[in-house]
Amino acid sequence: MQNLLHNLNEEQLAAVTLPAQSALILAGAGSGKTRVLTTRIAWLIQTGQVSPAGILAVTFTNKAAKEMLARLSAMMPINTRGMWIGTFHGLCNRLLRAHHRDAGLPQTFQILDSQDQLSAIKRLLKQMNVDDEKYPPRNLMYFINSAKDQGLRAKDVEAHDDYNRKFVELYELYDHQCQREGVVDFAELLLRSYELLSRNQPLREHYQQRFKHILVDEFQDTNDLQYKWLKLMSGQGQINAGAVFAVGDDDQSIYAFRGANVGNMQAFEHEFRVQNMIKLEQNYRSHGHILDAANILIANNSKRLGKNLRTDAGHGEQVRVFEASSDLQEAQWIIEQVKNLIAEGWSRSEIALLYRSNAQSRVLEHALFSSAIPYRVYGGQRFFERAEIKHAIAYLQLMDNLHNDSAFLRVVNFPTRGIGAKALEQLQDAARQQGCSLYAAVPYVAGKAGSSLNAFIKLIEGARFETQHLPLQEMVKVVLDASSLITHYQSEKEGADRIENLEQLVSAATLFVSEEGYGLDTPAFLGPQAQAVAGTSITTADGVEIMDADAPLAAVMSPLSAFLSHASLEAGDNQAQVGQDALQLMTVHSAKGLEFDAVFITGLEEGLFPHENSAKEEGGVEEERRLMYVAITRARKRLYMSFSQTRMLHGQTRYNLRSRFFDELPDEAIKWLSPKIAQQAGWFAHPKAAWDEAPESGNNKIAQNFSRPDSGWRIGQNVAHAKFGEGVIVNIEGGGGSTRAHINFGKFGMKLLDLSVAKLEKL
Q: Nearest to residue 648, comparing CAs of 355, 323, 360, 322?
A: 360
Would the pLDDT of 80 be above 80? yes
Dihedral sign for Cα atoms in the order 496, 497, 502, 508: positive
pLDDT digits (tens, 9 = 90+) for 151-194: 999 999 998 889 999 999 999 999 999 999 999 999 999 999 99
Describe the crossing of helices 472-482 and 447-467 by its angle, rounded to 10 degrees: 150
pLDDT at position 748: 72
Least confident of 141-150, 500-509, 564-573, 680-689: 680-689
Question: CB of 227 within 8 A of CB of 259?
Answer: no
Q: What is the pLDDT averaged over residues 94-108?
A: 92
pLDDT digits (tens, 9 = 90+) for 258-307: 888 999 999 999 999 999 899 999 999 999 999 999 999 999 999 888 89
Would the pLDDT of 685 be above 60? no
Would the pLDDT of 567 be above 80? yes
pLDDT at position 527: 47
pLDDT at position 26: 95
The answer to whether residue 416 is catalytic is: no
Rounded CA gap, 293 and 297, in Å? 6
Question: CB of 205 within 8 A of CB of 540?
Answer: yes
Q: According to the per-residue pLDDT averaged within each range, which of 320-334, 506-520, 576-590 is highest?
A: 320-334
Would the pLDDT of 413 be above 80? yes
The answer to whether residue 634 is catalytic is: yes
pLDDT at position 691: 53
Would the pLDDT of 494 be above 80? no
Q: Tell me the percentage of the chain whose pLDDT exceeds 70.
A: 88
Rounded CA gap, 693 and 57, in Å? 49
* Catalytic choice (11, 12, 33, 548): 33
Count of CB atoms situated within 10 Å of the CB of 370? 11
pLDDT at position 281: 95
pLDDT at position 747: 66
Which residue type, as a one-letter code, is found at position 174?
Answer: Y
pLDDT at position 209: 92
Rounded CA gap, 434 and 444, in Å? 9
Rounded CA gap, 291 and 313, in Å? 11
Q: Tell me the percentage of the chain whose pLDDT exceeds 90.
A: 59
Which residue type, as a one-letter code, is found at position 491?
Answer: S
* Catalytic choice (17, 21, 34, 522): 34
Q: Nearest to residue 39, comparing CAs of 71, 2, 83, 64?
A: 71
pLDDT at position 395: 95
pLDDT band at 578 (very low <50, low <70, confident <90, very high): low
Q: Nearest to residue 587, comparing CAs of 616, 620, 627, 639?
A: 627
The answer to whether residue 226 is catalytic is: no
pLDDT at position 687: 37
Question: CB of 229 within 8 A of CB of 56?
Answer: no
Reported as type and span, the H/E element at residue 320 is: strand 319-326
Rounded CA gap, 50 and 41, in Å? 9
- Residues, the chain: 763
Residue 754 sits at φ, ψ, to 5 deg, of: -80, 115
* Catalytic choice (11, 116, 217, 624): 217
Rounded CA gap, 566 and 577, in Å? 17
**CB-based contacts of 10: which residues, under 8 Å, 6+ apart?**
none
The answer to whether residue 587 is catalytic is: no
Q: Nearest to residue 183, comparing CAs of 175, 191, 173?
A: 175
pLDDT band at 512 (very low <50, low <70, confident <90, very high): confident
**CB-based contacts of 529: which residues, under 8 Å, 6+ apart?**
none
Rounded CA gap, 224 and 259, in Å? 8
**CB-based contacts of 340: which residues, under 8 Å, 6+ apart?**
none
pLDDT at position 654: 81
Would the pLDDT of 382 be above 50? yes
Rounded CA gap, 593 and 589, in Å? 9
Would the pLDDT of 549 be above 50? no
Which residue type, as a one-letter code, is found at position 389?
Answer: I
pLDDT at position 48: 92
Q: What is the pLDDT averaged over residues 649-663?
A: 84
Q: Nearest to residue 86, comparing CAs of 64, 105, 101, 110?
A: 64
Give the burial class of 133: count Cβ atoms within 10 A of its Cβ; 0-12 exposed, 13-18 middle, 19 or more buried.
exposed
Q: According to the per-residue pLDDT averaged within each range, which of 32-41, 526-535, 745-754 is highest?
A: 32-41
Count of CB atoms situated within 10 Å of the CB of 753? 20
Residue scoring higher pLDDT (739 or 331): 331
Quickly count helices (H) and strands (E) in the chain. Answer: 27, 24
Q: What is the pLDDT averaged over residues 366-388?
A: 82
pLDDT at position 556: 66
pLDDT band at 706 (very low <50, low <70, confident <90, very high): very low
* Catalytic choice (410, 634, 638, 714): 634
Please tell me what DSSP assigns to residue 657.
Answer: P
To the nearest 10°, report the CA torsion of 273, 276, 281, 283.
-100
Residue environment code for 94-107, b if the CB has 16+ CB neighbours within 10 A, otherwise e: bbbbbbbebbebeb
Would the pLDDT of 584 be above 60? yes
Collapse the DSSP code of 252 into the 3-class scheme (helix H, G, I; strand E, B; otherwise coil) and give the result.
helix
pLDDT digits (tens, 9 = 90+) for 280-289: 999 999 999 9
pLDDT band at 613 (very low <50, low <70, confident <90, very high): confident
Collapse the DSSP code of 522 into the 3-class scheme (helix H, G, I; strand E, B; otherwise coil) and give the result.
coil
Would the pLDDT of 579 be above 80? no
**First-residue to last-residue Cα distance in the chain:** 62
pLDDT band at 573 (very low <50, low <70, confident <90, very high): low
pLDDT digits (tens, 9 = 90+) for 191-239: 999 999 999 999 999 999 999 999 999 999 999 999 999 999 999 988 8
pLDDT at position 531: 40
* Catalytic choice (220, 222, 252, 584): 252
Q: Which residues are paired to 761 by β-bridges?
A: 720
Dihedral sign for Cα atoms in the order 281, 283, 288, 294: negative
Phi-psi region of 418 (alpha: psi -120 to 50; beta: other; left: phi over 0): left
Question: CB of 640 within 8 A of CB of 670?
Answer: no
Q: How many alpha carbons fall within 13 Å on the CB side of residue 608?
A: 29
* Catalytic choice (11, 181, 218, 606): 218
Collapse the DSSP code of 350 into the 3-class scheme (helix H, G, I; strand E, B; otherwise coil) and give the result.
helix
Which residue type, as a one-letter code, is found at position 64?
Answer: A
Residue environment code for 145-176, b if the CB has 16+ CB neighbours within 10 A, otherwise e: bebbbbbbebeebeeeeeeeeebbebbebbbe
Phi-psi region of 651 (alpha: psi -120 to 50; beta: other; left: phi over 0): left
The answer to whether residue 252 is catalytic is: yes
pLDDT at position 377: 84
Rounded CA gap, 116 and 129, in Å? 20
Phi-psi region of 50 (alpha: psi -120 to 50; beta: other; left: phi over 0): beta
User: Read out DSSP for 73-130?
Assistant: HHHSS---TTSEEEEHHHHHHHHHHHTTTTTT--TT-EEE-HHHHHHHHHHHHHHTT-
pLDDT at position 381: 60
The answer to whether residue 473 is catalytic is: no
Rounded CA gap, 284 and 311, in Å? 7
pLDDT band at 675 (very low <50, low <70, confident <90, very high): low
Mean pLDDT of the chain: 86
**CB-based contacts of 521: which residues, under 8 Å, 6+ apart?**
471
Q: What is the pLDDT averaged over residues 728-752?
A: 76
